[in-house]
């Protein structure tokens, strides 16, 4: 049995075509079913639905053999113990620093004053500002980062941006592009040794589907 960990929403939706390329079809719609384990048309392949931030944990400890997870989640998790063979180029977005439209970010940073940054991505934010030599006080949040500067909780946020609509709707502007983000295939290292052939097949067919999608 091969167990694949996915999160509901964009990662599930964007992984479906890759699964299809590997001849795997999920037999239930996670938006309609309450099941957390979904069968596929292949009796020896199943999908488990977990929170996006839990995917690396499931794969690392063998609750799943393979998984699909954002680079943001991997960097925050640390990625230790996980084999990361493939950038799937799905669920693409970028990590950014954003501030309220009136906030003078360049001088806040230039003068070396401490700035307060609210984020769910404390590891990424800490590394980014350390590299720039900027002193930051980080405030860990679990959601709605956009609210933090609007309420005076923080000067800036570090968050993911795809269309930019969320920032715009909250009168925030992007002032730094930290890194591009996409989702990656991650594999449990023991599973790769014990179930080499079926896991290799998934890696290879996904890789072929990704390079095909790139040339379109």
Q: Does 170 bind ligand PRT (CB under 6 A)?
A: no
CA 136/CA 116 separation, integer angstroms = 6
Q: Does 161 bind ligand PRT (CB under 6 A)?
A: yes
Q: Which residue is nearest to ligand PRT (CB)?
A: 70
Q: Does 166 bind ligand PRT (CB under 6 A)?
A: yes
Query: Near ligand PRT by CB under 6 A, which window of 30-38, 104-112, 160-168, 201-209?
Result: 160-168
Q: Rounded to whole angstroms, what are the CA distances from 46 to 52, 77, 97, 172, 193?
A: 17, 24, 38, 42, 19
Q: Does 95 bind ligand PRT (CB under 6 A)?
A: no
Q: How far is the CB of 106 from ligand PRT (least distance, A)?
A: 23
CA 34/CA 114 separation, integer angstroms = 46
Q: Does 73 bind ligand PRT (CB under 6 A)?
A: yes
Between vectors from CA 166 to CA 121 and to CA 88, what angle results, nearest 5°? 55
Which C-beta is closer to ligand PRT: that of 60 or that of 195? 60
CA 47/CA 35 separation, integer angstroms = 10
Among 33, 41, 162, 211, binds ligand PRT (CB under 6 A): 162
Is 192 within 8 Å of 62 (Cβ atoms)? Answer: no
Q: How far is the CB of 201 from ligand PRT (least distance, A)?
A: 25
Binding-residue total with ligand PRT (CB under 6 A): 21
Is 91 within 8 Å of 185 (Cβ atoms)? Answer: no
Name the burial class of residue 205, with classes exposed (0-12), middle (13-18) and buried (19+) by CB atoms within 10 angstroms of its CB.
middle
The residues in 8-67 that bind ligand PRT, with binding defined as CB under 6 A, are 9-11, 52-53
Chain contacts with ligand PRT (rule: CB under 6 A): 7, 9-11, 52-53, 70, 72-73, 91, 93, 159-166, 181, 183
């Amino acid at each position: 049995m091969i167990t694949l960990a996915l999160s509901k929403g964009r990662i599930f939706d964007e992984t479906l075509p890759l699964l299809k390329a590997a001849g795997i079809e999920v037999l239930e719609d996670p938006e309609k079913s309450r099941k957390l384990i979904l069968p596929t048309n292949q009796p020896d392949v199943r999908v488990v639905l977990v929170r996006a931030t839990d995917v690396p944990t499931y794969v690392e400890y063998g609750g799943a053999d393979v998984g699909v997870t954002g680079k943001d989640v991997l960097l925050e998790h640390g990625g230790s113990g996980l084999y990361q063979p493939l950038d799937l180029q799905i669920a693409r977005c970028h990590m950014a620093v954003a501030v309220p439209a009136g906030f003078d970010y360049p001088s806040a940073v230039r003068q070396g004053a401490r700035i307060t940054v609210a984020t769910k991505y404390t590891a990424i934010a800490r590394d980014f500002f350390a590299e720039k030599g900027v002193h930051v006080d980080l405030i860990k949040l679990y959601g709605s980062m956009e609210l933090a500067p609007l309420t005076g909780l923080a000067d800036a946020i570090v968050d993911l941006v795809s269309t930019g609509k969320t920032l715009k709707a909250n009168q925030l502007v992007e002032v730094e592009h930290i890194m591009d983000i996409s989702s990656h295939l991650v594999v449990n290292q023991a599973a790769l040794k014990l179930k080499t052939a079926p896991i290799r097949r998934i890696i290879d067919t996904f890789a072929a589907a990704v390079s095909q999608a790139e040339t379109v």
